[in-house]
Structure 1
């Protein structure tokens, strides 16, 4: 079964400096029908204007992933990490027992566009941790590139949960297959472009929850960038 989550049905908050779309309930957007999917709790598509950002604030007991699409995101945290995240890079922060951090647009002239993804951890009170890695377009072109996993295999960043996150970029007409292990589920998020997911059409910003399917076929109707979450 594939359940479509249309882009235009997401929650929306425009604060001037921040324009954000929420796939699941977040902040002032509350929707009992969309509280998350399996261990996936948040997918926010954020655009932050130049010279602005999220000031120092705290999290705990959450796995937080930033996936930058355009521009540059400047990160600082209470663990002593300071970095710039650019397109192709994946940042993960395990908040665990508690982390204070800030995320700012690094540019004084351009908007930063990124996905903020939260995943529930497999335990509470874990040791906070930070990691960041680059995955080139070539690695993702026409194939599923593992970028996040529980065991950090194949050069992926590790996460405290039984989740595999893949990224791919497809040209128009390209097709990719992914088998789903019995009793596992998937979430597909279209970052850009148009695809068919089996027989369901998805456009930019659309997502889809997948359960009780043995195989997924993603075919690009136009150039597309996609994230695939494999979930317990």
Structure 2
């Protein structure tokens, strides 16, 4: 931690030396910073950020360390663009730059054009039509596909929606199998008619949450929407 603090402090000095006097440099989190600056064009803005990135890459930090940084860039001609909107766009571009291999500058306009990652929402057959009709929110990183519960395609991130009756018929073995899968994250939403011992068993074995069958349309849509918005 002391070494990390020294690196962050020295990083701030390096950036401020490379930036212009009118630029605003702000610490935005544990290891994230924001630089507010002006540029005539997006290519010019990217070039400016690459100069800073390259300067950091060449710099020798405390204890002989060398580091690299990833930079996400939001660029707008619209004077009504809010700081919150610009920050969200830059943050999305930053994470895309990290996923692309780090040590690079990526603009938001480029980041959103990169193909989204697939996420499967696997649904029991008798609930499939209802879920497919739900109005799900758009996500900047992921594409969501509603498929039958036993569809063979797998994705690293999945949501399964099925009835408590189905889980109980299988003696909850499906939950045990999903919990053992190390190559993917599977959240499980249970649809049930009543709160009973079987539901407690499902939750104890790894089900994420449940909704009552009488409110499938509304509650499932709200639950999935919240689940989607919480995905990092």
TM-score by length of structure 2 reads: 0.26
Which one has the bigger strand percentage? 1
Higher relative contact order structure (alpha carbons within 8 Å, sequence separation ≥ 6): 1
TM-score by length of structure 1 reads: 0.26
Which one has the bigger helix percentage? 2
Structure number, greater radius of gyration: 2
